[in-house]
Chains A and B, each alone.
Chain A
C-alpha cells in the first residue's frame, strides 16, 4: 500500500510538472519588500521575520490562510474543567525536527520558557503565564495568573525549538538584538516546519527546500519543493521582476500597478482585507494644545468638535481618489476579523459638512481653529496622501490643519513620547480580540498598559473593564463587556477611524493561494498547477 501511494504521488507530481509553466516546476520564487531580521524565532516580533519563520518552525497552533486558528504542533487544547486557570495542550505525535530529533513535551516547555526570557521579543504575549508544566511526553499544561480565556490567541507566533539542539549550540537565551548579539540560532535553524533552510544571505537570498519527513505530508498540498526568497525593496523593480517572470509570487503589489499586473497574460492579483485599520488620534486630555491657535483651552476636549471632525471626513472620497478603491472605509478602529466587531460599528457616518459646521458653532468654534497634524510618509499605504485629503476636508469646517509628514522613524516617537496632538496611526490586531486594541489604545497610559494611547483619555470605569476582560472566563459575559467598552469609545469619539487596508498579492496564474489577513503566507498551503 505504501509503495502504491508512492507511485501515485510520483504520478501526480509528474503530471503537475508537465502542466505547469514554471521555469523549474517545483521552485517557487518569492519576493517581498523587506527581509526577515533574524532566524531566531523568539528574537523579533515582526511580520516579515515571522513569515520566514513560519515556513521553518511551527507553533502549537497557527492562523491558516483564512485567518482561522488551526492545529499545528498541538492536536487539541482546552481549559481544564476544574481549574480555568490551566490550559492543557495535547501535542502531535511522530513529529521530528529537521535534524531528526523527536518533538516532545520537554521541547514545548523549553520553547515557551525561552520565549519568556528577558531578551525575548515575544515575552509580552506570555505575561499572563505563571507556569508551564510537562504532564506526560505529549501533554503540557500552561497555568495563568487568573483565568485567561483567550490565551491561545497569543500563541500563534510562538515557535517550538528543539531543547537539545538549542542547548548544544549555546542558544538557550534568545538573541539579544538590542545588544547587537548574534547567536548560533540567529543564523541556523532546526524546526519542525514543512521547509528546511538551505542557505541564507541576509537582504539578498534565502533558499528553503521541502522537509522530506514533514508530518503533514498528504494533508497539505506542499506543491513547492524549493522556495527562493528575495527581498526587492523598490516597488517598480518588484513588479518588473514578476512581469518578466523572474519571480513567481510577490507580496506588497503597489496600488498603482494592480491593473498592470492583473492585465498581463499569465499573472493575477489576489486581494483581501488586511488586519490593519488606519485612523487619526487627537489629544483631548491636555489642558491646552501647543500647536493650535486657541489660548487657554483645548478644542479637542469638546466631544462636539471631535464628532464634527468625524462627519467632515469624506471616507468614500478617500477610498475612491486616494486609495483607488483599495480600502474599506470604517467607523471603528477595529479590523473586521476581530472579536467584538459588528456591522453597525463599522457603518460609516454620513458625510455632512453642514451638520459638522453646526456642531463646531455649538461648541464655540464657529470660526474654526488651526492645528498641526503629524503623519508618517513611509509606513501605511498612501499615508501622506490620506493626510493631505483630510487637510482639505477639515478645512471646509474651519479646522485649518498644518500637515507635518515625516518618515516613520521620526513619526512614531512623537506618539510614544506624547508630543503630538493630532496624528495618524495604523493598528493590526494579532490576537484577533478587542482587548488588544483597548489595552494599547484606550486604557490610560500606565507602566504596562496604554503605551500607544496618546489621546490623553483616562476613564477609570473603562480602565477597570479592560482589566476585567483579562480574567473573565464566561465568554458571553466577556463579549458583553467588550460591547460596553466599544459603546463608550464610540460615544466619546476617541479616534477618527478612516479605513481598513486591503492586501494585494501578485502571482502567476498557475498558483492557487489565498491572501492571509495578516500578510503571512504559509507555503505549505500553496497549490501549483
Chain B
C-alpha cells in the first residue's frame, strides 16, 4: 500500500513540475501587460521604466526559476490587475467555485446514477426512451448556450431565478458560503444545472451501459435464482459491480467541473476562480493565469491520486495484484 502511494506521489510531483513549466512558458509569451497598466497617455520612457521595474527584461530561465521557487513557497506574485497577492485572491475566490462544483457534481452523480439504473432496468420502455433522447441535449449543446437558454427561460421569461451573481453570502471564518441563505441557494440552481448537465448525462449513460452488461452475467441470474428481491439484486449486486468505471469517470469529471467552470462562471457572473481566470486573460494578468493553471493541474493530479486509491477500496483484486507485483 505504502509503495503504491509513494510511487503515485513521485509521479504526481513530476507532472506538477511539467505543468509549472508549461504554465510559465505559455503565459510568458501571451502578450504584454504593460499597455493595460499604463493606459493611453504613457510615453516611451514610462514604458521602459515599467518593463524594468516588473523584471520583464530579465532572461527567461531566471524568470522561470524565480517563478518555481516562489510557487513552492505559495507565493504566486501579485495580480497586475487588482494589485492583490494572487494567493489571497485565489483563497477568496475558491469557495465560490468549490461550492458550485461540489453541488453540481452531487446533482450530476445522484441524478446520473438513478436515471442510469432506471433506464437500464426499463430498457425499451417509453419513459426510459424519452429520458435517453432528451439526455442527448446535455451532451450535444455547448455549456454557454445551455446557460443562456436557462437564463432566458427562468430569469427573463418566468422571473423565478436570478440571472447572475451569488446572492447573499455568509462568512464562516475564511470560507464565504452561499449555501445558508435563500438567495444564495436560488442563485446556485441555474449555474449548478448548467455546469452539471453534461456530467449527469455522461454518468447516466455510463451507468446504464455498465448495468446492462452486468445484468447479463451469471451471478445476477444466480442471485435471482436465490430468490433475492429485485431491489437487492439491482442495488447491492449489479450497481456495485458497475462502480469501478463510474468512479474513474466521476472523479475525473469532478476535476473538469472545477476547471471548466470558467464558461459557466462567465455566463452567470459567478465570482469564482474561473471568472478570475477569464478576467486575468483579458488583462494579461500573468501571475494569476499561471497560478490558476498550477491550481487546476494540482487538482487533477490530486483527484487522480484519490481515484487510484478508491479503486483499491472498491475492488480488492487490484490491491492484491499490486501487492504481488510491487
| A513 CB within 8 Å of chain B | no
* Minimum CB distance partner of A201 in chain B: B271
Contact of B39 with A44 in the complex, beta carbons under 8 Å = yes
Chain B residues with Cβ below 8 Å from A3 are: none
Q: Taking A45-B41, A121-B39, A448-B45 as contacts, is the C-beta distance between A246 and B32 under 8 angstroms? A: no
Binding site secondary structure of chain A: loop
Contact of B53 with A233 in the complex, beta carbons under 8 Å = no
Contact of A246 with B155 in the complex, beta carbons under 8 Å = yes
| A302 CB within 8 Å of chain B | no
Determine which of B31, B43, B269 lies in contact with A448 in the assembled complex, contact meaning CB atoms within 8 Å: B43
Chain A residues with Cβ below 8 Å from B79 are: 180
Contact of B164 with A230 in the complex, beta carbons under 8 Å = yes
| A516 CB within 8 Å of chain B | no
| B68 CB within 8 Å of chain A | no
Chain A residues with Cβ below 8 Å from B81 are: 37
| B275 CB within 8 Å of chain A | yes
Chain A residues with Cβ below 8 Å from B164 are: 230, 232, 237-238, 240-241, 246
Contact of B50 with A178 in the complex, beta carbons under 8 Å = yes
Instruction: For the complex formed, measure the closest distance between the CB of B326 and the CB atoms of chain A, giving whole angstroms.
Output: 47
| B240 CB within 8 Å of chain A | no
How far does the alpha carbon of A186 sit from the alpha carbon of B84 in the complex, in Å?
A: 10
Instruction: For the complex formed, measure the closest distance between the CB of B30 and the CB atoms of chain A, giving whole angstroms.
Output: 7
Chain B residues with Cβ below 8 Å from A246 are: 155, 162-164
Q: Taking A180-B78, A204-B271, A448-B43 as contacts, is the C-beta distance between A243 and B156 under 8 angstroms? A: yes
Contact of A236 with B267 in the complex, beta carbons under 8 Å = yes
Determine which of B53, B276, B281 lies in contact with A178 in the assembled complex, contact meaning CB atoms within 8 Å: B53
| A285 CB within 8 Å of chain B | no
| B245 CB within 8 Å of chain A | no
B269-291 vs A, Cβ < 8 Å mask (1 yes, 0 no)? 10100011011011110000000
| A1 CB within 8 Å of chain B | no
Contact of B43 with A178 in the complex, beta carbons under 8 Å = no
Chain B residues with Cβ below 8 Å from A45 are: 39-41
| A256 CB within 8 Å of chain B | no
Which of A180-224 touch B at CB < 8 Å?
180-182, 186, 201-205
| A165 CB within 8 Å of chain B | no
Instruction: For the complex formed, measure the closest distance between the CB of A442 and the CB atoms of chain B, giving whole angstroms.
Output: 15
Chain A residues with Cβ below 8 Å from B246 are: none
Residues of A in contact, count (CB < 8 Å): 51
| B320 CB within 8 Å of chain A | no
Instruction: For the complex formed, measure the closest distance between the CB of A176 and the CB atoms of chain B, giving whole angstroms.
Output: 8
Contact of B40 with A178 in the complex, beta carbons under 8 Å = no
Chain B residues with Cβ below 8 Å from A182 are: 83-84
| B54 CB within 8 Å of chain A | yes
Instruction: For the complex formed, measure the closest distance between the CB of A263 and the CB atoms of chain B, giving whole angstroms.
Output: 13
Contact of A178 with B30 in the complex, beta carbons under 8 Å = no
Instruction: For the complex formed, measure the closest distance between the CB of A287 and the CB atoms of chain B, giving whole angstroms.
Output: 22
Contact of A124 with B41 in the complex, beta carbons under 8 Å = yes
Which of B130-166 touch A at CB < 8 Å?
148, 151-152, 155-156, 159, 162-166
| B182 CB within 8 Å of chain A | no
Q: Which of A124, A125, A244 has the most CB of B within 10 A?
A: A244
Instruction: For the complex formed, measure the closest distance between the CB of B206 and the CB atoms of chain A, giving whole angstroms.
Output: 31
A223-251 vs B, Cβ < 8 Å mask (1 yes, 0 no)? 00000001111101110110111100000
Chain A residues with Cβ below 8 Å from B37 are: 177-178
| B80 CB within 8 Å of chain A | yes
Instruction: For the complex formed, measure the closest distance between the CB of A510 and the CB atoms of chain B, giving whole angstroms.
Output: 19
Contact of A447 with B159 in the complex, beta carbons under 8 Å = no
Chain B residues with Cβ below 8 Å from A460 are: none
| A351 CB within 8 Å of chain B | no
Binding site for A on B (CB under 8 A): 30-47, 50, 53-54, 77-85, 148, 151-152, 155-156, 159, 162-166, 266-269, 271, 275-276, 278-279, 281-284
A sample of 9 inter-chain contacts (CB < 8 A) reads A37-B82, A121-B38, A181-B83, A237-B151, A240-B152, A409-B30, A413-B32, A447-B44, A451-B47
Binding site for B on A (CB under 8 A): 37-38, 44-46, 121, 124-125, 175, 177-182, 186, 201-205, 230-234, 236-238, 240-241, 243-246, 378, 407, 409-410, 412-413, 416, 428, 440, 445-449, 451-452
Closest 4 CB pairs of A and B: A180-B78, A409-B31, A409-B284, A124-B41
